[in-house]
Amino acid sequence: MAFLQDYIYYIGAFGLVFIGLFIMLTKHNLIKVIIGLSILETGVNLFLISVGYITNGTAPIFSKPGLNVREMVDPVPQALVLTAIVIGLAVLALVLALSIRLYKHFGTLDLRKIKELKW
Amino acid sequence: MVNPVLLIVVPIGLAFLTPILRFISKKWVKFIPVLGFIFNLAVSISLIPAAIHDPLIVKLGGFAPPFSIVLVVGPVGILFATLISLAGVLVSFYALSYIKEGPQQKYHMLYMLLLAGATGVVLTGDIFNLFVFFEILCISSYALVAYLGNKAGIESAIKYLIQGSIGSSLLLVGIGLLYGYFGTLNMADIASQIGTVDASRLFIPMALMITGLGIEAAIFPLNAWLPDAHSSAPSSISAILSGIAIEVGLYAVIRVLFTLFDVSSFLLFMLVLGVVTLIIGELCAMSQKNIKRMLAYSSIGQIGLIVFAFSLSSNFGVGGGLFQMISHTLSKALLFLAAGFMIYKTGSMEISSFEGIGRKMPLTALLFTIGTFSLVGLPPFVGFASKFMIIRAALAKGEMLYTLLIGLVLLATVIEGSYFFKVIQVMYFKGSKTGITKSESPITGLIPMIIFASLIIFIGVYPEFIMGIINPAASELIDKFSYIRSVLG
Amino acid sequence: MRKIIGIILLCIIAWGIFMSLAKIPFGKSESKVGNYYVEEGRRETGATNIVTSVVVGYRAFDTLGEVTVLFLAAIGLGAVLATLKDKSRAVIEDASLILITGCKFLFPLILLFGAYVFIHGHLTPGGGFQGGAVVASGFLLAYLGCRGDRISKVGSAIFESLGGLTFVVIGMIGLAIGSRYFLSNFLPKSQLNTLFSAGIIPIIYIAIGFKVGSELSGIIDQMMEES
């Protein structure tokens, strides 16, 4: 039980990752796959942030004098997640535009029916 | 001496500048990539002597590594940067007359950003920076595959995008695990501390990163997107995707395996995977009727051969792999460019529609034939020199296993020869279709193809010309301690 | 069938990942690089927000890549949606009175708040990307309220390009003068915790704020035209 309490953030983040992966691998509606992609990326970002946490730490901003350096969380994962969120946004925008075009061409969003290109 | 960071920043700056230039004059937009990559080619060639002697370490922002991002311009980096700039100039010159429809200025911006991303991947020394530039490469290739806007293009772009984004999320999880273990993101720093964690715990980050990068590199189980994507993109983009993008992906896999992790326990698996990829790629290519799909499966086969060469892990083996990458870029780009105009002329991508085109477009067909011979590995061309180097490296190992695998590689070469010669036979020896006038490709399309062909012949006849850079590059990959020493001092 | 294979694959990966996670204890991060940034960040870059000093100071090249990725998204979207021939617009009904009045009142306030976030990126939490996203949400509100009005495409393209170009040009100026590194901080870092401190960091963040705001508004505009 102590294990669960200590690692709850990791378990939560990876739970999201695996839910996202499961959706992307098994569903065949394109919009559901895109939602799965979004959940996957959220889970990965959550995992990255929780790697840098220091217990009882505060944000690394020297907003008032007398803040102890030892009590600040690691700033590097926050910078990494900033970039990762923006990259996830870019991929999401592109895939939504592509799905608009796909619907206009094929008339359906079911991935099993979109098999124009044969083997 | 020019700062190597300009190799990455100038194409990005030109891409940002293009919308403003478009308001000034629409016609001159298509010359911007040509000028940009001529600059890049000049800079990278001028940096070759210095980079071979000692890797150039560029500190970005002025802080010392590992507290800043560094660019490590060693022999491997400058070799790939020169190859990317060369392909960039020639294919952008080809695109002057090939890209006529669709939102053209967006094509040129995406093209410059794709190659800037590729240059960033090969020059960087920091693992998160590798991820960012890898994403630039991937996202621009997703958009360029969908450029033509037809059914095939959109479908292949969506499938490519979904698989590619799963890959980049897995790569990011691997990077997060590495940061958790080592507390730093600099590749040399991680490599120097890799011994402090036991190997069983390192297996998962390595597997996640190799899977994530391997989707772009098209290694066997992860290459389902490649035939669709490379055959539905416009031909100039197929040339860049097959010639540059998958090779840069494979470079990233090799860099992670050789420099970051300890590769020796993994070599047997890579060996088998390489040969399996090669055989499957060549067998699938044999049954294709669509020329671009056939060339795409042939790319999968070549990637398998290159992975096989790298897993030999000796100086000759790694050198042979690098040389095969160069010869694959030159030959495959030439094949796609020539096929592009032949498809445009006959209006269809089926091989059977190329009947008699040897007489209607003689120069283009001749250049296609030179590309074919080089890819299969016939003597005076560069493909022969590179394959010979790989076979010699494998025979030098001496064990029975390698001799058996050499037999499979030669069998795959024979299969490759058979389907390419079928195409040549259709081009030259069948009767011609009526209705096609005898006219050659436009001159701006012919010049890049002629330059590719002359490089193929020149390097094939004088391979010593390029050995001066391949040997130091191979040593840089194998000897990771000198890499760590040159970055961290 | 596919579901069963998927579940088995994911269980194997999950087991492997949790084996590796045992080595990364939660809540104790001994990262040498992270500690260095927190201790020396104020002195070396002049920003009191250490995350900003990491994003725009130490790892500014990653931020250049990120700005490029967002630019790519906008261009890719434009290229993919450009060649649609039929633009049959559905009948747009008018918004309700509350929405119209509220959006006219809130729109300038949201823009002001977004500008505050990206101008003060080196002092308070926030920065260029966050401020740009707030500005774009203001434009989304304007689209929902005052239907039928659109932002000028030329204007947003110019802002986008100028924002990106400012970033690249400042980097290259750092290459030419000062300590001759790309993206080095060549302006004086004056008094900590004041608005005009930290050298080039506020200038870069303002450029990024304009760029991201106009880019995301352009993306919203193009998506709205399709529906």
Q: Which helix (H) or strand (E) holds A104?
A: helix A76-106
A97/C124 CB distance under 8 A: no
Write down which chains contact chain A via at least 3 CB pairs under 8 A: B, C
Instruction: Please report residues of C whose CB lies closer than 8 A to that of A14.
Output: 14, 17-18
Of the pLDDT bands very low, low, confident and very high (cuts 50, 70, 90), residue C200 is confident
Q: What is the DSSP secondary-structure string of B129-140?
A: HHHHHHHHHHHH
Domain range enclosing B124 = 6-488
Using CA coordinates, name the residue in chain C closest to A60. C50
The residue of A94, A113, A118 whose CB has the most chain B CBs within 10 angstroms, and thus the best one to mutate to test that interface, is A94
Mean pLDDT, residues B446-468 taken together: 89
Min Cα distance A60 → chain B (Å) is 17
Whether A96 is covered by a domain: the verdict is yes
CB of B143 within 8 Å of any CB in chain A? yes
Determine the angle formed by the axes of helices C60-81 and B6-24, rounding to 10 degrees: 40
Q: Which of A46-50, B173-177, C21-25 has the lowest mean pLDDT?
A: C21-25
For B13-41, write each residue's pLDDT tens digit.
999 999 888 888 888 888 999 999 999 99
Distance from chain centroid for Cα C85:
32
Whether A59 is covered by a domain: the verdict is no
The amino acid that residue C163 corresponds to is G
Instruction: Count how many domains chain B has.
Output: 1
Min Cα distance C101 → chain B (Å) is 36
B61/C19 CB distance under 8 A: no
For C67-90, write each residue's pLDDT tens digit.
999 999 999 998 888 766 555 566
Q: What percent of chain B has pLDDT over 90?
A: 42
Q: Collapse the DSSP code of A110 into the 3-class scheme (helix H, G, I; strand E, B; otherwise coil) and give the result.
A: strand
Using CA coordinates, name the residue in chain A closest to B150. A105
B151/A116 CB distance under 8 A: yes
DSSP H stretches of helix in B287-381:
291-310, 315-346, 357-360, 362-376
Averaged pLDDT of chain C: 84
CB contacts < 8 A (A, B): 85
Number of helices (H), then strands (E), belonging to chain A: the values are 4, 0
Q: Which helix (H) or strand (E) holds B33?
A: helix B32-53
Burial class of residue C116 (count of CB atoms within 10 Å of its CB; 0-12, 13-18, 19+): middle
- Only one residue has tokens 């890898």, namely B134
Q: How high is the pLDDT of residue C131? A: 94
The rounded distance, in Å, linking the Cα atoms of B60 and B70 is 6
Whether A91 is covered by a domain: the verdict is yes
Q: What is the CATH number of the domain that holds A21?
A: 1.10.287.3510
For B268-291, write each residue's pLDDT tens digit.
888 888 989 999 999 988 888 889
CB of B3 within 8 Å of any CB in chain C? yes
Whether B378 is covered by a domain: the verdict is yes
C-alpha torsion A45→A47→A53→A56, nearest 10: 100
**Closest in C34, C60, C161 to B61, CB measured:** C60
What letters, b where the CB count within 10 A reaches 16 and e where it falls short, cover C12-38? ebeebbeebbeebebeebebebbbbbb
Interface list for C 160-189 with A (CB within 8 A): none
ipTM summary value: 0.94
Given a cut of 90, whether residue A1 has pLDDT beyond it is no
Whether A50 is covered by a domain: the verdict is yes
Whether A118 is covered by a domain: the verdict is no
C129/A86 CB distance under 8 A: yes
Q: How high is the pLDDT of residue C25? A: 78
**Closest in B16, B61, B140 to C184, CB measured:** B61
For B231-276, write each residue's pLDDT tens digit.
889 999 999 999 999 999 999 999 999 888 877 778 888 888 898 9
Whether A90 is covered by a domain: the verdict is yes
DSSP H stretches of helix in B348-442:
357-360, 362-376, 382-397, 400-429
Which residue pairs, CB below 8 angstroms and at least 24 apart, start in A25-33?
A25/C2, A25/C6, A25/C9, A26/C2, A26/C3, A26/C6, A28/A110, A28/A111, A28/A112, A29/A109, A29/A110, A29/A111, A30/A99, A30/A102, A30/A109, A30/A110, A30/A111, A30/B158, A31/A99, A31/A109, A33/A111, A33/B162
For B311-326, write each residue's pLDDT tens digit.
888 888 899 999 999 9
**Closest in A18, A76, A101 to C33, CB measured:** A76
Given a cut of 80, whether residue A70 has pLDDT beyond it is no
The rounded distance, in Å, linking the Cα atoms of B242 and B91 is 12
Instruction: Count how many domains chain C has.
Output: 1
Q: How high is the pLDDT of residue B201? A: 84
Instruction: Count how many domains chain A has.
Output: 1
C75/B106 CB distance under 8 A: yes
Highest mean pLDDT pick, A38-47, B344-353, B462-471, C34-43: A38-47
What letters, b where the CB count within 10 A reaches 16 and e where it falls short, cover B332-355? bbbbbbbbbbbbebbeebebebbb
Of the pLDDT bands very low, low, confident and very high (cuts 50, 70, 90), residue C222 is confident
The residue of C80, C83, C227 whose CB has the most chain A CBs within 10 angstroms, and thus the best one to mutate to test that interface, is C80
Domain range enclosing A80 = 2-54+70-110
Of the pLDDT bands very low, low, confident and very high (cuts 50, 70, 90), residue B158 is very high
Given a cut of 60, whether residue B91 has pLDDT beyond it is yes
**pTM listed for this prediction:** 0.95
Whether omega before A60 lies within 30 degrees of 0, making that bond cis, reads no
Instruction: Please report residues of C whose CB lies closer than 8 A to that of A73.
Output: 29
The amino acid that residue C167 corresponds to is F
Domain range enclosing C24 = 2-226
Interface list for C 192-221 with B (CB within 8 A): none
CB of A75 within 8 Å of any CB in chain C? yes
Closest-CA residue to B448 (of B290, B239, B298): B239
The residue of A83, A95, A102, A103 whose CB has the most chain C CBs within 10 angstroms, and thus the best one to mutate to test that interface, is A83
The residue of B165, B186, B283, B287 whose CB has the most chain A CBs within 10 angstroms, and thus the best one to mutate to test that interface, is B165
The answer to whether B175 and B128 have CB atoms below 8 angstroms apart is yes
**Closest in C20, C36, C171 to B9, CB measured:** C171
Which residue pairs, CB below 8 angstroms and at least 24 apart, start in B159-162?
B159/B224, B159/B225, B159/B228, B159/B229, B160/B225, B160/B228, B160/B229, B161/A91, B161/A94, B161/A95, B161/A98, B162/A24, B162/A33, B162/A37, B162/A95
